[in-house]
Amino acid sequence: MSVLNPVSKRFEFLGVPGAISFVILVPTIIISVHLLCNNDIGCLPFNYAPNFSLSTLSSLLSLNAFLAIIAWYVLHIVLHIVLPGEWVDGTELRNGKKLKYKINAFLCFLSTIAIGTGFSLAHTKIFPSLFTTSANIPSKLLPLVWIADNAPQLGVAAIIFSNVQALILYLYSFRKNALLAIGGNTQIAVYDFFIGRELNPRPFGDILDLKYFCELRPGLVGWALLDVSYLAKQWTILNENGAVDGSWQTMWELGVSNSAFLVAVMQIIYIADAQYFEKSILSTMDITTDGFGYFSL
């Protein structure tokens, strides 16, 4: 074993048992939350028997959801590469080198908002049959309502996509001259897969550091999109029987609950702040120390 990549002796998250528990329990909890709750009686009431049948579980697998997750991921890769940004040095690595990072997360965030808004306004002309129409839902809200309605399927698709990516990253880390994370080279496969073996995987060259990219881009911006989607869904529920003309003015007047609005606004402010001050994460342990694996994804 090279001096730069010594065998890791220190374990986190209870070591191997903790790693196995995380890999199994996190997806199980995420899926169970959707199966144990409904709009009528909330979550986990004593008189409610959740449906864990095979047909219910299989309904969580959706080709459209997989395609949406892949398209979302690819969109952010393209924006990161195409849009301009300042190139800055990261902290010095233990091999004496400094990696270059492109700073344009906030511009990508604003561009995603612009693209999403344009798609919501024009999707009926570009893809007239992409979303099922409803007399009670303005056409401009259909993409957002689709996301809220398909949140369980999107969640399962994201879990599978993340697991596949984590496995590919784990296998990719065994190439020659890869710089490994100090804590991710225990030589215990399940733990290294979980904690992340390679420090800064860049399979496409310096243009894209996958760990840095995933730190702020698809997940955080996707969180903001979910917030807006749930607001749109709540609006359609609260105004299901109301007069809906589809105009932004009428939609604002009918509104959503104050609590949902405040939660969404506070979370989006947090997300926008992280995008704007992107450069500050270069000195965090996430970038300088931790490997990139299942846990980070």
Within 10 A of 200 (CB to CB), how many other CB atoms are there?
A: 20
pLDDT in tens, 218-273: 999 999 999 999 998 888 887 765 544 445 444 455 577 788 888 999 999 999 99
**Bridge partner list, 100:** 89
User: Which of 62, 262, 289, 296 has its CA nearest to residue 170?
Assistant: 296
Residue 41 is predicted with a pLDDT of 66
Within 10 A of 77 (CB to CB), how many other CB atoms are there?
A: 16
42: enclosing H helix or E strand: strand 42-43
Within 10 A of 146 (CB to CB), how many other CB atoms are there?
A: 20
Residue 265 is predicted with a pLDDT of 92
Residue 49 is predicted with a pLDDT of 60
Is residue 90 scored above 60 in pLDDT?
Answer: yes
Per-residue pLDDT, averaged over 59-81, amounts to 93
SS3 at position 65: helix
pLDDT in tens, 91-131: 998 888 899 999 999 999 999 999 888 888 777 677 666 66
Q: Which residue has the tokens 């993409």?
A: 143
User: Which of 90, 100, 78 has its CA nearest to residue 217?
Assistant: 78
Q: Which residue has the tokens 């991710």?
A: 184
Q: Kind of pairing, strands 37-38 and 100-103?
A: unpaired
Residue 245 is predicted with a pLDDT of 47
CA-to-CA separations, 189 to 180, 184, 192, 194, in angstroms, rounded: 14, 10, 5, 8
In the structure encoding, which two tokens stand for residue 130, read together?
């992409």
Which region among 27-41, 65-79, 177-191, 283-297 has the lowest average model confidence (pLDDT)? 27-41
Indicate the average pLDDT of the chain.
85
Provide DSSP, 190-219.
HHHHHH-SBSS--TT-TT--HHHHHHHSHH
Is residue 2 scored above 80 in pLDDT?
Answer: no
- Is the pLDDT higher at 43 or at 257? 257
Confidence band for 4, pLDDT divided at 50, 70 and 90: confident
Residue pair 295/195 in contact (Cβ under 8 Å)? The answer is: yes
Is residue 66 scored above 90 in pLDDT?
Answer: yes
pLDDT in tens, 145-180: 889 888 889 999 999 999 999 999 999 999 988 899
Cβ-based burial of 287 (10 A; exposed 0-12, middle 13-18, buried ≥19): buried
